[in-house]
Structure 1
Amino acid sequence: MIQDIAPHHYDNAYHPTQPKAGDRVFFYHEGSTLLSAATGEPFTWEEVTALIGGETLETTYFFRIDETAFHWSREVPQSVLEAALPVKDSHFRTMQPGWLAFAGITASQLHQWYSSHRFCGRCGKPMEPDQVERAMRCPVCGNLVYPTISPAVIVAVTHGDRLLLTKYSRPGAYRNYALIAGFAEIGEPLEDTVRREVMEEVGLPVKNIRFYKSQPWSFSSSLLSGFYCDLDTDDETVTLQADELGEGTWFDRANLPEGGSAVSLTHEMIQRFRQGPV
């Protein structure tokens, strides 16, 4: 999955530093991440200093992978813009090497959070980065805001040797077969989210809900929890939630469709079912 970057080590502890040789800097412009056109990777600090000459650049520390720290510059100098390759978040699904793809989408999530919390949601005054932990603090009313992470479930509904796969109906949505997915609501245990989402999206009751694995999914600022569950009826009739899904089809284990994004929990769970009972 996208976070599996071994032997590299991701360190998300908040210990802000200034960029140094070997570090990377992310820039964003008009909804795109700016990578170096020369390498197709995040700009190195050496590239940035060469491009901006003697100018100063204010940066925000993001995280570290091994000994490489990753930073963000709110300012995009014209010289950097002219040397950049703009990419959308979907680029990081297939970018190589994988550890830089993980850095790229994780940085994009942080950038969106910082950009959405420049002003206090309580009193409207400008926010400031907290000095101790990764948070934005209002110096006027004291409001403290942490990065937004939304809990969600990925659900593999099984019936013996059959697995239910779906396709989204929304324009621009992921087009391959997928598992049922949805966000947890306030006050709702994840197991209840599983039951509710399956009933809402395909109209089926389920039982024997069992946790498989979790995955950070920065494409939607989510923390995904994967569950397998069994159909709690002999009737496999699917009633689709039309505004969410365009297809819901049962597949035998031996005839599961190929494809899908290898970086995703959905893909791993389908492959795991293909191998045998779970």
Structure 2
Amino acid sequence: MIQQIGSHIYSNTYHPGPAKDDSVILSYSNRDILLREQGDVFSYPLFSQLPPEMKKEKHLIWLFTIDGIEYFLTREAITLPGYAYVPVNYLRVAHPRYLSFAGVTGLSLHNWYQNHIFCGGCGKPMQYSKAERMVYCDNCQTMSYPTICPAVIVGVRNGDKLLVSKYAGRDYKRFALLAGFAEIGETIEETVHREVMEEVGIKVKNLTFYKSQPWSFTDTLLFGFFCDVAGSDELHIDYQELSTAQWLDRKNLPDDEEKSSLTMEMMTLFKEGKA
């Protein structure tokens, strides 16, 4: 999955400091990210490559470290020779993987900072905490932390078949497992039951937690569950949410070409008879 970066060490321990020449710069324009493609790999610009004006502290936000190297966010889009903004979905398959993970994680923080320039309560400018990753309002004491939305990925089994679906009205057109966000006042297990019932109209049993994944493309923390159909397996599809849903034999499940997402890892696990 995209957060599995091998021997590289990601740290979100909050200790912001000034950028160094080897600090990595992440810059976004809407949902595009600034990078340089070099054959089968890509790279981000370094602090040393920024023009003098952009090196001022007011233009950069400290993000995190990987292997002790600090990553910074630019407050606005920039232009650098040899670099171009490309859609962030490029990072789903791009190498090296640790840089893909960095770019996706940075995207979530970029969106959060952009959406919290001003206080939602009184409209005053938000201030940056020096003790933790938080912004606050001096005027009305409003505090805000990075957006992390809990959601479920559900692998519903029916003997040797798995329930797969395709989203309605989205760019992603491949098969995926059922998924949905947790609602206020419910446990994550209750989310599984509700989402399955809402999207395909069936009941499930034997919930087993598999694995979690930070999916920063959508500011989401995913919880993967396997379960079994309980009772009738006749599907009643909510076509506002899904374009299709069906029971698929193990042998007919698609291969995981991206090796980025929890949904595809779970489908592969079932395909191989391990779930």
Shorter-chain TM-score range: over 0.9
Name the structure 2 match of 1:4: 4
**Mapped contact 1:26–1:72 kept (Cα < 8 A):** yes
Shift of 1:191: 0.7
Name the structure 2 match of 1:274: 271
Which residue identity does 2:33 align to in structure 1?
A: T
Which one of 43, 48, 73 corresponds to residue 46 of structure 1? 48
Shift of 1:259: 4.4
Shift of 1:46: 2.1
TM-score normalized by structure 1? 0.92
Name the structure 1 match of 2:203: 205
Name the structure 2 match of 1:73: 74
**Mapped contact 2:156–2:163 kept (Cα < 8 A):** yes
**Mapped contact 1:176–1:259 kept (Cα < 8 A):** no
Question: Which consecutive unaligned segments of at least 5 residues does structure 2 have?
Answer: none
Which residue identity does 1:251 align to in structure 2?
A: L
Deviation string, structure 1 residues 209-266 (Cα, Å, up to 9, x no partner)? 1100000000100000000010001x32111101111111111223323345310000
Q: Kindly indicate whether residue 265 of structure 2 is the aligned counterpart of residue 265 of structure 1.
A: no
Question: 1:82-231 counterparts in 2 under 5 A?
Answer: 82-170=81-169, 172-231=170-229
Which residue identity does 2:97 align to in structure 1?
A: G
Name the structure 2 match of 1:20: 20
Shift of 1:57: 2.5
In the aligned structure 2, how far is the partner of 1:37 from the partner of 1:173? 23
Which one of 249, 253, 271 corresponds to residue 250 of structure 2? 253
Shift of 1:175: 0.6
**Mapped contact 2:255–2:268 kept (Cα < 8 A):** no
In the aligned structure 1, how far is the partner of 2:120 from the partner of 2:203? 40
Deviation string, structure 1 residues 128-151 (Cα, Å, up to 9, x no partner)? 111100000111111111001000
In the aligned structure 2, how far is the partner of 1:133 from the partner of 1:68? 19
C-alpha spacing 1:201/1:55, structure 2 compared with 1 (3 Å): closer
In the aligned structure 2, how far is the partner of 1:37 from the partner of 1:163? 38
Shift of 1:56: 4.0
In the aligned structure 2, how far is the partner of 1:147 from the partner of 1:249? 36
Name the structure 1 match of 2:65: 64
C-alpha spacing 1:260/1:173, structure 2 compared with 1 (3 Å): farther
Instruction: Give the match's secondary structure for 2:27.
Output: strand
Shift of 1:81: 4.3
Deviation string, structure 1 residues 162-196 (Cα, Å, up to 9, x no partner)? 111111121x3311110000000001101110001
Shift of 1:14: 0.8
Identity of aligned residues (%): 43
C-alpha spacing 1:69/1:203, structure 2 compared with 1 (3 Å): same
C-alpha spacing 1:11/1:129, structure 2 compared with 1 (3 Å): same
C-alpha spacing 1:123/1:215, structure 2 compared with 1 (3 Å): same
C-alpha spacing 1:206/1:30, structure 2 compared with 1 (3 Å): closer
Which residue identity does 2:67 align to in structure 1?
A: D
Aligned length: 271
In the aligned structure 2, how far is the partner of 1:155 from the partner of 1:67? 36
C-alpha spacing 1:45/1:56, structure 2 compared with 1 (3 Å): closer
**Mapped contact 2:161–2:247 kept (Cα < 8 A):** yes
**Mapped contact 2:42–2:96 kept (Cα < 8 A):** no
TM-score normalized by structure 2? 0.93
C-alpha spacing 1:34/1:55, structure 2 compared with 1 (3 Å): closer
Shift of 1:83: 4.1
In the aligned structure 2, how far is the partner of 1:131 from the partner of 1:259? 42
Instruction: Give the match's secondary structure for 1:43.
Output: coil
